[in-house]
Amino acid sequence: MSSLGMLALLELARGQPASLARAETQPSPVPGLIRQALRWLGDFGHRSLLLIALLALWEAAPRLGLIDAVFLPPFSEVIAAGWQLAQTGELYENVAASLLRALSGFVISVVLIVPLGLAVGWYARLGSLLNQFIEICRNTAPLALLPVFILLLGIGELSKITMVVYSCAWPLLLNTIAAVKQVDPLLIKSARTMGATPQQLFRKVILPASLPTIFVGIRLASAAAMLVLVASEMVGAKAGLGYLIINSQYSFLIPQMYFGILGITVIGLAFNAVLEALERRFMRWKAPAAA
Domains and CATH numbers, the chain: 30-71 (no CATH), 75-282 (1.10.3720.10)
pTM of the model: 0.75
Burial label for 284, CB within 10 Å (0-12, 13-18, 19+), is exposed
The residue type of 95 is V
> How many CA atoms are closer than 13 Å to the CA of 132, on its beta-carbon side?
2
> How many CA atoms are closer than 13 Å to the CA of 270, on its beta-carbon side?
10
Q: What is the pLDDT of residue 38?
A: 67
Query: What letter would DSSP give residue 29?
Result: S
Q: What are the distances in angstroms from CA 71 to CA 31, 212, 248? A: 47, 43, 12
Q: What is the pLDDT of residue 111?
A: 93
Q: What is the pLDDT of residue 131?
A: 85
**pLDDT 10s digit of each residue in the chain, 291 long?**
444 444 444 444 454 444 444 444 555 565 666 767 667 666 666 677 888 888 888 889 888 888 888 888 999 999 999 999 999 888 899 999 889 999 999 999 999 999 998 888 888 888 888 888 888 888 888 888 888 888 888 888 888 888 899 999 999 999 999 888 888 888 878 888 887 777 878 888 888 888 888 998 999 998 888 888 888 888 777 888 888 999 898 888 899 999 999 999 998 889 888 888 888 887 766 655 444
Q: Are 83 and 77 in contact (CB under 8 A)?
A: no
Q: What is the pLDDT of residue 175?
A: 92
Q: What is the pLDDT of residue 180?
A: 87
The residue type of 240 is G
Q: What is the pLDDT of residue 11?
A: 47
